[in-house]
Structure 1
Amino acid sequence: MNAESKKLIVAVDGGGSTCRVSICEVSGAIIGAASGGSANITTDFNRALANILETIHRAYAAAGLDPTRMVGDYAYLGLAGANLEGAADLMEKALNFDRVKVTSDREITVQGAMGAEDGTVAAIGTGSFFVGRHNGEVLSIGGWGFQLGDDGGGAFLGQKLLRRAIHAHDGIVAHSPLTRGVLQRFGGTPQGLVAFVQGATPMDYGSFAPSIIKAYYEGDAIAIEIVDAAVASLHHTLDTLNTEITGVLYMLGGLGAAYTELLRPEYQAICASPKGDASDGALSLAQGLWVGETK
């Protein structure tokens, strides 16, 4: 029986910056894939839905299949922002699959990184969340959005930089090359920066993260202040999760590698490569949905 005549699994890894979709056979064989824009359903639900659907359609096309066949297929989506009340249910109702399950990107990231084994996941990208698991006990921290948390994430770092740029303009702290560059980007005055933040998304704030990390290694005083504070918060979080007891630490996300180099030695010693990525986790959980194991 060919792909056109049997049910398929659609696995979606929807993060704050990118959305990745895999069209898979029940065995796990990937027959089509595509990447798209942000899938954060709390920041902008309609935009995220449009990005998700467009990426799903392109993944079907990559498999040589008509996207309208999705009505007969099963899907598992792990999406940024889906942990907030009502968001997952709303997305499930908006997607026309035979069966569909929407969870946060936390679930698929953890599943992809360590499967059913013990360990700690520190996922630090545009946002951040942390999960520790030991002897069946699971503790989660973060993932509430950069306005309230997401410590160390790109949006968190970007917001801290913009605040410091304003402080430097007001004379509260000394300017650094980094803060001067930020103000110059917005016309040299705070007005342009203020206008920017009125409609800025987490991804917009996160766009400053690479320059912050670069400036940190160049000795920029403001960058050092921001990154050192983020690392201190990261250590406190890992301590709270009893990371050493879990035995292994997976540093994931776009900023995971940058922070790994700044960890205390005892944490660097237990860092390991993940078993798979979030897309693999979405596929694994989708396979569980197919056989009725995912609730």
Structure 2
Amino acid sequence: MATASYILGIDGGGTNCRGRLRDTNGQILGEAMGGPANTRLGVAAAHEQVLMVCIETLKAASLISSDCKPDDDEVNVALGQTRLGVGLAGLHLESQLDDFLNWDHSFASLEACNDAHIACLGAHDGEVEGKGILILGTGSCGYGFKDGSPVNIGGWGFKISDMSSGAVTGYLAVRHALAVLDQIYPSTGLSEEILQHFSHDAETLVLWSDKARPTDYGQFTKLVVHHANEGDEAALDLMRTCGRQTEAMLGAMKTRGIEAVSLVGGFAEHVEPYLRSEMKKMLVPRFHDARDGAILLAGGVIGQPSMLKHEDATGE
């Protein structure tokens, strides 16, 4: 691995791309954030976004001037002193990983993998054998390592997978609200607040749903959590379903040899109270976030472990 003065970690997903720069002693020098860096947008676009965030991170660390251009000599010099680790949504496909690594870059070295991989590395401080993560954010998936090989659970997307995720939970809440409007189910505080968003008009809701994305449905998850905490039966039913589905995913991970799991993602802390105590025994605290996992991937070291909370887990 090339000698370098700095290690830069990139965590890129469908919502944003975040970078962190550390020195060889593990001290944070700078951080930055940019737009989506999902390879589904194209490998060339992912390269461009990753490079932009890297440059902004170097600027934040005052290693290059704030008004420099990507092709300036000072940028190339700084990149040449930096090892880069990248985790991107979509890089679980070997063809896309090969395309991404086939990059005419100026970094001292480049390591890349999918975003779940770096999240797992960060969560367990690089010691991943028999350990994993369960991401409960806008989407959901389980990821870990057994006998040196990755273990994947779910993560096939909003339409056919992503159980116990914010997007699917929000979708189910909206669907329930529409059924309330048709007087199929009795009204509750949850359905009333969702229907207010659509002026209690079925056509408005349906037209919205034609263009709604997973993140659009996910915005209603906060209402589900709030009303469940208030004792709303419809909301409680949704959260209990999330608990059962999360337990099923944890069980699948245990069956495949993953004994210790860190919950990751903004929805995770809300689902955890609905897990039975025997399932909670699998859960362990998370050391670092995905950006630090990318730094570990690149051969860097991390300073004092932070034992992060669930909501700091990903770039979403």
Q: So what's the TM-score if we normalise by structure 2?
A: 0.76
Local SS of the residue matching 1:241: helix
Per-residue CA deviations over 1:232-289 (Å, capped at 9, x if unaligned) read 111111112227964423112112222222211112234221122211111000227x
User: What CA distance in whole angstroms lies between the structure 1 residues aligned with 2:183 and 2:42?
Assistant: 36
CA contact (8 A) 1:14 1:105 kept: yes
User: What CA distance in whole angstroms lies between the structure 1 residues aligned with 2:159 and 2:139?
Assistant: 10
Equivalent position of 1:120 in the other structure: 132
| 1:68-147 paired onto structure 2 within 5 Å | 68=70, 69=75, 72=80, 73-84=82-93, 86-88=95-97, 96-98=105-107, 99-114=109-124, 115-116=126-127, 117-136=129-148, 138-147=150-159
User: What CA distance in whole angstroms lies between the structure 2 residues aligned with 1:85 and 1:206?
Assistant: 30
User: 219-228 or 63-72, which moves further after superposition?
Assistant: 63-72
Equivalent position of 1:172 in the other structure: 184
- 1:203 deviates by 2.5
- 1:84 deviates by 4.9
CA contact (8 A) 1:16 1:126 kept: no
User: What CA distance in whole angstroms lies between the structure 1 residues aligned with 2:168 and 2:105?
Assistant: 35
Local SS of the residue matching 1:122: strand
User: What CA distance in whole angstroms lies between the structure 1 residues aligned with 2:176 and 2:104?
Assistant: 42
**Compared with structure 1, are the counterparts of its residues 40 and 161 closer, same or farther at alpha carbon in structure 2 (3 Å cutoff)?**
farther
Name the amino acid aligned to 1:31: L
- 1:144 deviates by 1.7
Equivalent position of 2:310 in the other structure: none
Equivalent position of 2:53 in the other structure: 55
**Compared with structure 1, are the counterparts of its residues 198 and 101 closer, same or farther at alpha carbon in structure 2 (3 Å cutoff)?**
farther
CA contact (8 A) 1:42 1:87 kept: no
User: What CA distance in whole angstroms lies between the structure 1 residues aligned with 2:31 and 2:179?
Assistant: 45
User: What CA distance in whole angstroms lies between the structure 1 residues aligned with 2:13 and 2:223?
Assistant: 21
Query: 1:231 aligned to 220, 229, 243, which one?
Result: 243
User: Given the alignment of the two structures, is residue 221 of structure 1 paired with residue 233 of structure 2, yes or no?
Assistant: yes
- 1:62 deviates by 0.4
User: What CA distance in whole angstroms lies between the structure 1 residues aligned with 2:148 and 2:99?
Assistant: 30
Query: 2:161 aligned to 149, 156, 165, which one?
Result: 149
- 1:191 deviates by 2.7
CA contact (8 A) 2:243 2:272 kept: no
User: What CA distance in whole angstroms lies between the structure 2 residues aligned with 1:171 and 1:266?
Assistant: 39
Report how many aligned residue pairs link the two structures.
284
User: Given the alignment of the two structures, is residue 257 of structure 1 paired with residue 306 of structure 2, yes or no?
Assistant: no
- 1:93 deviates by 6.1
User: Given the alignment of the two structures, is residue 204 of structure 1 paired with residue 216 of structure 2, yes or no?
Assistant: yes
CA contact (8 A) 2:43 2:99 kept: no
* RMSD between superposed Cα atoms in Å: 3.2
Equivalent position of 1:181 in the other structure: 193
User: What CA distance in whole angstroms lies between the structure 2 residues aligned with 1:226 and 1:203?
Assistant: 18
User: What CA distance in whole angstroms lies between the structure 2 residues aligned with 1:215 and 1:47?
Assistant: 40
- 1:65 deviates by 3.0
CA contact (8 A) 1:13 1:105 kept: yes
User: Given the alignment of the two structures, is residue 242 of structure 1 paired with residue 258 of structure 2, yes or no?
Assistant: no
Per-residue CA deviations over 1:212-244 (Å, capped at 9, x if unaligned) read 111111122221222222211111111122279
Instruction: Percent identity, please.
Output: 30
Instruction: Point out where structure 1 has 5 or more consecutive residues left out of the alignment.
Output: 1-5, 289-295
Local SS of the residue matching 2:283: coil
User: 80-89 or 27-36, which moves further after superposition?
Assistant: 80-89
CA contact (8 A) 2:18 2:291 kept: yes
Instruction: Point out where structure 2 has 5 or more consecutive residues left out of the alignment.
Output: 301-316
- 1:40 deviates by 4.0
**Compared with structure 1, are the counterparts of its residues 165 and 232 closer, same or farther at alpha carbon in structure 2 (3 Å cutoff)?**
same
Query: 2:28 aligned to 19, 27, 30, which one?
Result: 30
- 1:133 deviates by 3.7
Equivalent position of 1:281 in the other structure: 293
- 1:193 deviates by 2.5
